Structure formats: C-alpha cells, structure tokens
Amino acid sequence: MLKKLILLVVLISLSACGEQDVESQKYQGEALGTTYAIQFYSEEEIAFEKGMDSIINQINKSMSTYSTNSDISKVNRGDTTVKVDAHFLKVLEASRKIYEESNGFFDPTVGVLVNAYGFGPEKQINELYTETLDSLNNLVGLNKISIKKNGAVSKSTPGVYLDFNAIAKGYAIDVIADYLESKAVENYLIELGGELRAKGKNLKSGNSWLVGIDDPFQKQERNLKAKLKLDNASMATSGNYRKYRVDSVSGRQFVHTVNPITGFAEKSNLLSATVIAENCMLADGYATAMMAMGLDRTKEMLNRVDGIEVYLMYSNANGDLQTYISPSLKEKLVK
C-alpha cells in the first residue's frame, strides 16, 4: 500500500502566536525503505540516533521480508525452528484483530499475491492467469497461521507467506514513541513513511501538532485536502492513485492494494483512507483494510469498531471527488 508523506513541515509553524523560547530536537533519515522526520522536546540531550538504529535493526531482524536473514523470511521459507520475538507477536496479534474486524479484508498472508503482482520482494509473475491466481489464493488466510507453545510459527498449509509491510511501519512508530517516552519526552511528532504519531504540543508555537492530508487528484505540486490537529493520537493514510503496475501481456493495470478475498489487485471506490487511532500500528492496518473494503463495507465496520476516526476520499458514479468524515473528526479539522 502506498504510504504518502502527509506531514508538511510548513504546517508546524503556521500558528506562531504565543511562541516560547524553546528549541526542539529534530532528526531526519531513512529507515525501513522510506524516510523519517522526528521532532521532540527534551530538557536532556538524548542519543536518539543510536536508539533509532537499535529499534530499526530489531524490527528488520524480526519482520523484514526484504532481509533474507530475518525471522519472517526464515518462516516464509518453511523454517520451523525459528522462535519469533515480542515484536513479531505484537504485530501478529494486531493483524489478527483487524483481520477479524474487517472480515478478512486485512490479511498479512496476502504476501504471496503481493509478490505475484510485482509489489513485494519476491519475483513477480509476468503472466497472471486465473488458474495461477486461484492456486495462490489457496495460500491466503491468517487462520492458517498459529503460534506454538515454544514460540515457533505453525502453518496449516505449507507455502503460506507472511508479509507485515502494511502494518510494520506503524508499529515501528509506536516503538519509537515508547523509546522517547522512556526518556521522559512528553512532546513529540514522529513521521515515518507518511505515518504519524503525536503527543503533547509543539512547544515552539504552544499549539497542537498540525498535519495535513493530501489531495488524491493532485499532479506535480502537493495540495492539501485537509489540515487537522493531531492530539495524542496516531494517523495513517493509504491510497491507490499513484502506485500501480501494467501487465506486460494483457495490458491490465494492477493497483498496489490486493483484495485478500478475491485475490485480485483491484481498485475499490476509495481513493484514500486516513485513519486516526490510539496507536499507529492499528491506524496503519485499518487504512490498508479500508482500501480493499471500499466505502460501504468500511462504513459498516465503523459501526462495529470503536476507537478509530476516518477521513475517506472516494469517487462517485460521475467520477467526482467526495469525502466521508467521522463526525468526531470534523471538530479537529482546521479551516
């Protein structure tokens, strides 16, 4: 799922009234195949880069499908001796929660299809026929995965391929937040690959952290569809309108979202799904699920699931851009 950079630094300085004589610590870099930008306030100097490197190394070792020596890659190759760590277990537990609440539209075992369509670390299948997809779809289903008492992964169907990329970046942000809070940091904004987590305030302006949501119809220049205050919450956005692949044989356009139910890389009527949640792991996973579910199924799920708010952009029958916003989120939007 395409993760967009929805944090614009300019937004942070829009409200300059009541400025305090205080400076934040700022860090930028690359991690997990994307970029990060982190800003926080601390009375003490924190060896943040060392802590950040340690966190990323742990997460990569646990669940990076792009590393052949990671635990998840070994599990995917059929190694039954690997005892997965706490990071792996937490992400699997959250994945199972969203899997059940979305009626299977979020499923990390869809990785075998993600690879086939050319969006994963494994070699893509250039000619995707119905028979091939049907065969691969038999390997999809999080109910085929369980954890043994000794911490090893058990597969009821050999060949099942786990891929946590749709939720791992959000989880990484939560781990970074835990690290900062362990250092008594109470005011921070973390951005990784377009996903966000905020706590406290921007002490420079004295206001809440201000972030933006991209317009899915934008061209070269970045345009914002909305701005909102992110108060002690996390935010993740998924969209299909930029990343796709064209099949060399049929000429069909495959989008980055793979529907775990049908096995097809297909567009729903949602162009973009932004989710606000308590932690970024859940926001990340729900946003991915919604892109596969489409508007109607997403709205139905929202009636059953507590603790999340959404800003959804979709196209109507005429191709016009429409929005659906959780009532409680409307109060947080900045006009």
pLDDT of the residue at 134? 58
Least confident range of 31-40, 103-112, 121-130, 301-310: 121-130
Residue (of 198, 194, 243, 168) closest to 36 by Cα position: 194
Of 3.10.520.10, 3.20.20.140, 3.10.20.600, 3.30.365.10, which CATH number belongs to 9-334? 3.10.520.10
Q: Are strands 233-239 and 145-147 parallel, antiparallel or unpaired?
A: unpaired
pTM equals 0.85
At position 302, the amino acid (one-letter code) is L
DSSP 198-228: EES-BTTTTB-EEEEEE-TT--SS--EEEEE
pLDDT in tens, 136-175: 668 889 999 999 999 999 999 999 999 999 999 999 999 9
